């Protein structure tokens, strides 16, 4: 960043990052001039800073006292700033199947399914035993529904009972912030009728999915695990990722707990309680996608949707012993 050199001093040029010897770098704390305030003087200073007229003036004065404008104007940074983690165009990889963005979600899922190995029911089921639904994978549900082993409505009752059991534990396990048993039953009933008529939408039809509380899933509120956010921002429609899942027949079990506003890596939440690690309830799940990780780790659903800006999917996945997948930047439509 360059600028005018009003003082007549030569600009300070920073060394390109690839030429910097990190081991030799020593941070020197600059001497800053700032008022030392407590009590009434601090409250008065805050009032002045929040004033639309005096606030910017005081801020400008403090910056000038500490030579911040001069430091910025007289420093040359050799690299252009990179605001987004983008990569240059690359040659197409061999064996990669492109699933066009503008096609119906069910068609895209069908094409993706063709890339997987054939499903072998004998791995999950045998004629002698009745397998509980916990830890079923997506294709286990698809096979069970199409074979008449069970129905989405029957599984819904197990999911509802499981959520209520976890909520009533001592200490409780609030994996969901918003949970409506009647709504789950209604979604499952519609899915069950599609299977009875022989018209399932996709392999995801009847699969139970939890949505992190900072993702819009109409008509549920999006609180971001706060007590106020839904009061200043209402949910009018599904997020793009949720809308696409809904078009595939997914059953949403509710809004999953999380670290408040996603600003933490533990999942500790003072507003709705902490989603504990199902494998060891005296331990954290990690965060901020703590609820989604806890739900999948407990076996109540095969998949959950979270968000990850700095590890918020990958951290709880690793601590809970499940697979967490963060898509490449720009791959997922973030609307909603």
- Secondary structure, 3-state, 50-118: CCCCHHHHHHHHHHHHCCHHHHHHCEECCCCCCCCCCCCCCCCCCCCCCCCCCCCHHHHHHHHHCCCCC
Helix (H, G, I), strand (E, B) or coil at 329: coil
Residues noted as catalytic: 212, 288, 312
> What is d(CA 259, CA 275) in angstroms, rounded to the nearest whole number?
9
Torsion sign across C-alpha atoms 151, 153, 158, 159: positive
Which pLDDT does position 9 carry in this prediction? 61
Prediction pTM value: 0.76
Q: For 205-255, how does the pLDDT look when each residue is reduced to its tens digit (9 = 90+)?
A: 999 999 999 999 999 999 999 999 999 999 999 999 999 999 999 999 999
pLDDT tens per residue, range 268-306: 999 999 999 999 999 999 999 999 999 999 999 999 999
Please report the pLDDT score of residue 6 as a whole number. Answer: 46
Side-chain-side CA neighbours of 322 within 13 Å: the count stands at: 28
Segments of the chain scoring below 70 in pLDDT: 1-11, 81-82, 127-130
pLDDT at res. 5: 43
Is residue 203 within 8 A of residue 142, CB to CB? The reply is yes
DSSP string of 130-188, one letter each residue: PPPSTT--HHHHHHHHHHTS--HHHHHHHHHHHHHHHHTSSS----EEE--HHHHHHHH
Look at residue 128 in the predicted model and tell me its pLDDT.
58
Secondary structure class of 254 (helix, strand, coil):
strand
């Amino acid at each position: 960043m360059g600028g005018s050199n009003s003082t007549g001093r030569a600009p300070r040029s920073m060394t390109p990052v690839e030429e910097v010897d990190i081991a030799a770098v020593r941070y020197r704390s600059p001497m800053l001039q700032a008022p030392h305030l407590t009590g009434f003087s601090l409250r008065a200073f805050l009032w002045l800073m929040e004033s639309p007229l005096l606030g910017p003036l005081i801020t400008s004065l403090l910056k000038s006292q500490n030579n911040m404008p001069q430091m910025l104007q007289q420093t040359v940074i050799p690299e252009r700033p990179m605001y987004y983690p983008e990569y240059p165009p690359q040659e197409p990889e061999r064996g990669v199947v492109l699933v066009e963005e503008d096609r119906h979600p069910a068609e895209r899922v069908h094409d993706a399914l063709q890339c997987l190995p054939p499903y072998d029911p004998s791995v999950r089921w045998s004629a002698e035993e009745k397998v509980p639904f916990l830890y079923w994978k997506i294709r286990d549900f698809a096979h069970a529904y199409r074979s008449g082993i069970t129905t989405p409505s029957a599984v819904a009752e197990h999911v509802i009972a499981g959520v209520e059991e976890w909520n009533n534990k001592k200490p409780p396990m609030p994996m969901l912030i918003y949970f409506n048993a009647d709504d789950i039953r209604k979604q499952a009933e519609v899915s069950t009728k599609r299977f009875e008529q022989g018209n399932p939408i996709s392999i995801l039809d009847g699969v139970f999915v939890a949505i992190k509380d900072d993702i819009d899933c109409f008509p549920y509120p999006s609180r971001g695990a706060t007590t106020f956010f839904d009061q200043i921002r209402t949910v009018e429609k599904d997020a793009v990722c949720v809308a696409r899942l809904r078009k595939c027949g997914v059953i949403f079990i509710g809004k999953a707990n999380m670290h408040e506003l996603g600003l933490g890596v533990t999942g500790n939440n003072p507003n709705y309680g902490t989603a504990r690690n199902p494998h060891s309830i005296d331990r954290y799940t990690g965060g901020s996608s703590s609820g989604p990780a806890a739900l999948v780790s407990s076996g109540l659903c095969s998949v959950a949707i979270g968000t990850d800006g700095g590890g918020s999917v990958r951290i709880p996945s690793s601590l809970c012993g499940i697979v967490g997948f963060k898509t490449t930047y720009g791959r997922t439509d973030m609307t909603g």
